[in-house]
Amino acid sequence: MRFRAALATLLLTAATLIGPPAAAATPVTIAYAQRTQTWQLVLTNGDVVEVPEALAKAPDDAANPGAPAPFLVSGDGRHFFYFRKSDQLFVERTLNGKERVVSRRLTAFAINEEWPVVSDDGSFVVTTTSAPGVGVFADLRKGKTLPLPGRTDAWSFLGFSPDSKRLLLAGENQLTVFDRGLRARMRLKTRLGSMALANDHVTAAVPVGTWPKYRKLRLLNLRTGRVSGTVTVRLPRGQYVDDLAFDRAGRMIVRSRTGTGVGIYRISKATGKATLLRTIVRPDAEVWVLPGDETYEAWTERKSKSQK
């Protein structure tokens, strides 16, 4: 009896000392970036981090002096990119990391002539150009800039898959899926454009209508060429499909400019029903950038106008 009592006391004491396992802390990421006098990061915990080393505008000796300098945040909210003032190179950073040069070929001289696009995990950068065409393909995991696919810049870059393992590009009457080494994995002859590539690396979303007032879409199978019927996206009156993507689970996500900022919706592939996931109110800043934004999005500037 004494042994059992002692053992019970020991177990009770251990349970009291150890207690229930603590819940894993939610990692702090970037909620959005904004530019007032300088660039700032607003974090998900409410903290604000200054980035004074980031250029706000193209320098006087650039191709387009005074043009707004790109500042991008990866879709996962962990990486941010900017042209730095010291040498005007385009660099990548994490909240607790050091600057890494993306490519020495991408400098502030090319602002508003080249537009960088960042993969969701922040590990790959592609630039589109005013040619039109593409410029730099930089794989930051390997720390190198890759030669152009097919040794030509005559491509339109359409986007990354959510897992950042594939890139979708359009050539003349052709869509091609490339891996990170820019090896062609799938080709389809088609006149259809696309706005997003799913994580199955086969399904692409095709907007229907005239930019910027997209409200309909179709799904395209890049392996078979089969196209789904047209689905009307049932957004609130006066809103349009400003940005379309797939999440990692294959669901369609639409971002749409609202009167106060941006609304984020999950879209039914079958019916077009739009389920509001969240709204983000535009801060009182000259410019703001959400994770996953490209150089220009409909909601970034105070007035909706393209910088291209």
- Cβ-proximal residues to 268 (8 Å cutoff; 6+ apart), any chain: 231, 274, 275
**Where does 29-289 sit in CATH, by number?**
2.130.10
Question: What is the chain's pLDDT, residue by residue, as a tens digit (308 residues)?
Answer: 333 333 333 333 333 333 444 445 789 999 999 998 899 999 999 999 999 999 999 999 999 999 999 999 999 999 999 999 999 999 999 999 999 999 999 999 999 999 999 999 999 999 999 988 999 999 999 999 999 999 999 999 999 999 999 999 999 899 999 999 999 999 999 999 899 999 999 999 999 999 899 999 999 999 999 999 999 999 999 999 999 999 999 999 999 999 999 999 999 999 999 999 999 999 999 999 999 999 999 998 775 444 33
Vertex 104: Cα angle to 98 and 106 (nearest 5): 100
pLDDT digits (tens, 9 = 90+) for 45-77: 999 999 999 999 999 999 999 999 999 999 999
Count of C-beta atoms within a 10 Å radius of residue 128: 22
- Supply 229's token pair: 């019927």
Give the residue carrying structure tokens 């097919």: 150
In this structure, the strands spanning 39-43 and 48-51 are antiparallel
Domain borders along the chain are: 29-289
| Cβ–Cβ under 8 Å, residues 222 and 194 | no
Check the CA dihedral 184-189-195-196 and report its sign. Answer: negative
